Amino acid sequence: MKTRQVVFGAWVYASAASRARITLVCTGGSNLQSSYHTGGGSWEFLTESGTVGAATTQIDMRMDIEAGDAISVYFDGVILTEGALPSAYVQGFNEWIPRLMWRKEGSTSYALGGGLLMQVGLSASDTGNITITFPAAFSATPILALCVGSYRNNYATESVGTTGFTAYKTAGSSSSGVYWLAIGLE
């Protein structure tokens, strides 16, 4: 076996502190143990990362409950991954599908994780077609660019590029600014 960097994690619920944790038992190598659950009866995502050595012959994932008075302990959503835990990975207990996390980058930009970027805005009012310029350029033509809000039906989104798009006004319709949304690659 080659030397591998791994991350071991699980959602843990415990009603008392310093009694529940997870351990990756590596036969022929060093074990990896998470910190203890802090107690208080809530779910916490416990992780431990480290190296599984070339001499390791067996790996066992263990859910540890230390001796003492009877307490409530639950484990869920266990994960073992080679390398670092992806930054876009967040798993809720009883959920088995990874979700993208978003964080605000500016007044109109949101990083969605996994290399995706979302931008939103409100165009100025215009009597005709409206040109939208993105606050930050996408690395490729956005996956989605659309107009939303009260006047969305008066405009057709076209000519989408990495730096913006044009919202073409429908003939005979009222004109106004439009809210817009674009999602694409960072």
User: Domain ranges in the chain?
Assistant: 4-82, 103-185
Mean pLDDT of 121-125: 78
- 73 contacts 41 by C-beta, under 8 angstroms: no
DSSP E strand stretches across 41-174: 42-52, 58-65, 73-82, 103-104, 109-113, 116-122, 130-133, 144-148, 155-158, 164-169
Residue corresponding to tokens 């990756």: 24
Q: Give the tokens for residue 6.
A: 């791994």
Q: Return the pLDDT at 152.
A: 67
Residue type, 162: T
What is the pTM assigned to this prediction?
Answer: 0.46
Does CATH number 2.60.40.3940 belong to domain 103-185? yes
Backbone angles phi, psi at 119, to 5 degrees: -130, 145
| CA separation for the pair 16, 25 (Å, rounded) | 24
| CA separation for the pair 166, 140 (Å, rounded) | 17
Q: Which of 34-38, 54-58, 70-74, 107-111 has the highest mean pLDDT?
A: 34-38
- 163 contacts 119 by C-beta, under 8 angstroms: no
The larger pLDDT score, comparing residue 32 to residue 2, is at 32
